[in-house]
Amino acid sequence: MSANKEVAIIGAGPAGLITGSVLKKTDFTVTLFEQRDCLGGSWAIQPLSTLVDIRDGVFGIYSPTYPSLRCNLPKQVMPLPDFPFPDDYPLYARHDDVLSHLHRFAEHQKLLRHIRFNHRFLALDASSTTSPGKRRWQIQTSQGAGEFDAVVFCNSHYSFPKLPDLEPLLPFTGRLEHSFSYRGPEAYRHKRVALMGSGPSGEDLSREISHCASRVYLCAHPGSRQLHRPVTGRYGAHNNLTRHRDVVACNDRTVMLEDGEKLENIDVLILCTGFQPDPAFRHALPDTGLSGDQNTIAPLYLNLFHPKYPELTATSMIQCAAPFILYRYQAEAIAGYLKGKIQLPNAQQRQFAAEQSELRQTGRVDFSIRKANSMEHINRLASMAGIPPPTKETLEILAANNKKRLEHPDTYRDLPWVNG
Ligand SMILES: Cc1cc2nc3c(=O)[nH]c(=O)nc-3n(C[C@H](O)[C@H](O)[C@H](O)COP(=O)(O)OP(=O)(O)OC[C@H]3O[C@@H](n4cnc5c(N)ncnc54)[C@H](O)[C@@H]3O)c2cc1C
């Protein structure tokens, strides 16, 4: 496939904007379809007028960002292509700083006129006008259809709450929320709050809520991902936060834990159980052979290319400790393939490799740039695309940041930066 092709990009978050800029620079005609009326994806906060009980559904909520959200990565490891964060930004930027930066990037790259806002992607079909040797794809959106030579899905795995089995939690008579709709600690003033899950959301929210709530319980399975060093005893803003085992069931206002402990008179249980692609999206791909589980769309060759139709790609379906960096390498690899500069193995080999992929075999695609397989992955994309891999300094900053978060979970964003 050569240049001057028409490419549809689904989503105008960081992945869509980075991909759009790289493909545009490579002389493709890009059209970004964005379901919201704004760009920036997760970073574009969406105020909510009411508190949301997950049992009522979360349709119409598109962003998990809350007013106090600050990056958990230093700005140097959230680079946009050839567009560094301004020097006067804090090391750990606020969410609205990131959003402003994305806006400036879109303007600088002249991407704005390529974005179709309020266009929700609905379905993809092989076009009926496809001629031999020239395949086209029809994109159906909430505002009509269009035909393209290639499609890049940048609609992210942060679009929807990932939920545990809700059945045992349904008898809870307090409010059952998900971190996806959290918009600040005031809603929990004088409340007794339990949080389920101790990933980045559970860690950040429990500490923030402890400023307002009378009591906060952070509950997680000991084997689950513990971002920060386990804490024993009381901590938090008013010494009102403690750690406990994972939630197994609820009854009335009681939250029951896996070690038999019972947390009584709980007002709110917040599920901090992560995010996933919008489930509606998985059903929107009937003819592609792609199937989705909770966490990703698979199987994809190199977690990127559809094995049978490599002009269909999905950039943001894998978790990565430094997503902006990954998106740039993925975009360069897509551009290289579409331009005919990168040769992929044949369809059978792609399918085999996709199914055998180590990331895929884990069931849960959870990879960090620091892990050997992640680096190999990014290095492989870099070498395919003929561009330098992430620098040693970038990797050192990521490693130092992880250490800092682990050692100073409450204050790492405000401490002076010491590399190593
Ligand atoms: C609480 C939290 C904190 C984070 N902190 C950091 C951090 O510090 N540093 C960092 O690098 N990353 C962080 N991340 C990850 C962050 O989400 C990514 O940096 C980045 O926003 C992901 O970009 P994306 O474009 O893949 O997804 P998103 O930002 O989610 O954008 C996806 C876009 O696709 C659109 N879309 C979805 N479905 C459709 C459809 N059917 N039709 C049309 N459009 C659609 C959405 O509306 C959205 O605009 C954080 C994530 C969370 C949840």
Q: Computed from CA positions of residues 38, 41, 45, 49, in that sequence, does the dihedral angle turn out positive or negative?
A: positive
Q: What phi and psi values does residue 248 have, to the nearest 5 degrees?
A: -115, -30
Q: Which atom of ligand 1 is nearest to the CA of 155?
A: 34
Mean pLDDT, residues 132-158: 90
Instruction: Give the pLDDT of residue 227.
Output: 47
Helical ranges in 33-151 per DSSP H: 95-108
Find out whether the beta carbon of 92 lies less than 6 Å from any atom of ligand 1.
no
Find out whether the beta carbon of 310 lies less than 6 Å from any atom of ligand 1.
no
The three-state secondary structure class of 281 is helix
Which has the minimum average pLDDT: 92-106, 123-137, 161-175?
123-137
Find out whether the beta carbon of 34 lies less than 6 Å from any atom of ligand 1.
yes
Instruction: Give the pLDDT of residue 363.
Output: 39
Distance, in Å, from the CA atom of 64 to the CA atom of 43, rounded to the nearest integer, reads 8
Which of 42, 97, 124 should be mutated for ligand 1, with most atoms under 8 A from CB? 42
Instruction: Give the pLDDT of residue 284.
Output: 67
CA distances from 235 to 108, 132, 241 (A): 45, 66, 5
- Top-confidence residue, 202 or 223: 202
Q: Which atom of ligand 1 is nearest to the CA of 78?
A: 11
Find out whether the beta carbon of 16 lies less than 6 Å from any atom of ligand 1.
yes
Instruction: Give the pLDDT of residue 259.
Output: 94
Distance, in Å, from the CA atom of 303 to the CA atom of 384, rounded to the nearest integer, reads 14
**Contact at 8 Å (CB) between 304 and 333?**
yes
Examine residue 299 and say whether the peptide bond preceding it is cis (omega within 30 degrees of 0): yes
With 0-12 / 13-18 / 19 or more C-beta atoms within 10 angstroms meaning exposed / middle / buried, residue 91 is: middle
Find out whether the beta carbon of 324 lies less than 6 Å from any atom of ligand 1.
yes
Instruction: Give the pLDDT of residue 156.
Output: 83
Distance 158 CA to ligand 1 centre (A): 5
Find out whether the beta carbon of 357 lies less than 6 Å from any atom of ligand 1.
no
Instruction: Give the pLDDT of residue 232.
Output: 76
DSSP conformation class of 25: H
Q: Which atom of ligand 1 is nearest to the CA of 63?
A: 30
Mean pLDDT, residues 298-313: 85
* AA identity, residue 407: E
pLDDT band at 365 (very low <50, low <70, confident <90, very high): very low
CATH level 2 (architecture), domain 167-268: 3-Layer(bba) Sandwich (3.50)
Instruction: Give the pLDDT of residue 261.
Output: 97
Mean pLDDT, residues 374-382: 82
pLDDT band at 377 (very low <50, low <70, confident <90, very high): confident
Instruction: Give the pLDDT of residue 264.
Output: 98
Of all residues in the chain, the percent with pLDDT exceeding 90 is: 64
The three-state secondary structure class of 89 is coil
Instruction: Give the pLDDT of residue 287.
Output: 62
Find out whether the beta carbon of 78 lies less than 6 Å from any atom of ligand 1.
yes
pLDDT band at 369 (very low <50, low <70, confident <90, very high): very low
Distance 388 CA to ligand 1 centre (A): 25
Which of 156, 205, 402 should be mutated for ligand 1, with most atoms under 8 A from CB? 156
**Contact at 8 Å (CB) between 13 and 43?**
yes
Q: CA torsion 82→86→87→93, rounded to 10°? A: -110
Find out whether the beta carbon of 64 lies less than 6 Å from any atom of ligand 1.
yes
Which of 91, 105, 118, 155 should be mutated for ligand 1, with most atoms under 8 A from CB? 155
Mean pLDDT, residues 86-113: 97
Instruction: Give the pLDDT of residue 283.
Output: 64
Distance 5 CA to ligand 1 centre (A): 26
* AA identity, residue 136: R
Beta strands of 327-411 (E only): which ranges? none
What are 45-98's pLDDT values in tens digits? 999 989 999 999 887 899 999 999 999 999 999 999 999 999 999 999 999 999
Nearest CA to 78 out of 65, 97, 58 is that of 97
Distance, in Å, from the CA atom of 220 to the CA atom of 15, rounded to the nearest integer, reads 31
Is residue 224 scored above 70 in pLDDT? no
Find out whether the beta carbon of 10 lies less than 6 Å from any atom of ligand 1.
yes
Mean pLDDT, residues 11-31: 97
Instruction: Give the pLDDT of residue 10.
Output: 95
232-237 CB contacts, 8 Å cutoff, 24+ apart: 236/206, 236/207, 236/210, 237/207, 237/210, 237/211
Q: How far apart are the first and last CA of the chain?
A: 44
Other Cβ atoms less than 10 A from the Cβ of 352: the count is 15
What size, in residues, is the chain?
Answer: 420
Distance, in Å, from the CA atom of 307 to the CA atom of 163, rounded to the nearest integer, reads 29
pLDDT band at 371 (very low <50, low <70, confident <90, very high): very low
Q: Which atom of ligand 1 is nearest to the CA of 17?
A: 25
Q: Which residues contact 67 (CB under 8 A, 6 or more apart)?
A: 45, 183, 184
Specify the domain boundaries for CATH 3.50.50.60 within the chain: 6-160+275-406, 167-268
Which of 43, 73, 158 should be mutated for ligand 1, with most atoms under 8 A from CB? 158
Find out whether the beta carbon of 141 lies less than 6 Å from any atom of ligand 1.
no
- Top-confidence residue, 223 or 171: 171
CATH level 2 (architecture), domain 6-160+275-406: 3-Layer(bba) Sandwich (3.50)
Distance, in Å, from the CA atom of 367 to the CA atom of 174, rounded to the nearest integer, reads 35
323-338 and 372-385 helices, crossing angle to 10°: 40
Nearest CA to 332 out of 77, 22, 15, 1 is that of 22
Find out whether the beta carbon of 161 lies less than 6 Å from any atom of ligand 1.
no
Average pLDDT, rounded, for the chain: 87
Mean pLDDT, residues 97-104: 98
Distance 43 CA to ligand 1 centre (A): 7
Q: Which residues contact 361 (CB under 8 A, 6 or more apart)?
A: none
Distance, in Å, from the CA atom of 183 to the CA atom of 270, rounded to the nearest integer, reads 12
Q: Within 13 Å and on the Cβ side, how many CA atoms surround 89? A: 20
Find out whether the beta carbon of 20 lies less than 6 Å from any atom of ligand 1.
no
The three-state secondary structure class of 254 is strand
Is residue 291 scored above 60 in pLDDT? no
**CA of residue 274 relative to chain centroid, distance:** 9
- Top-confidence residue, 222 or 328: 328
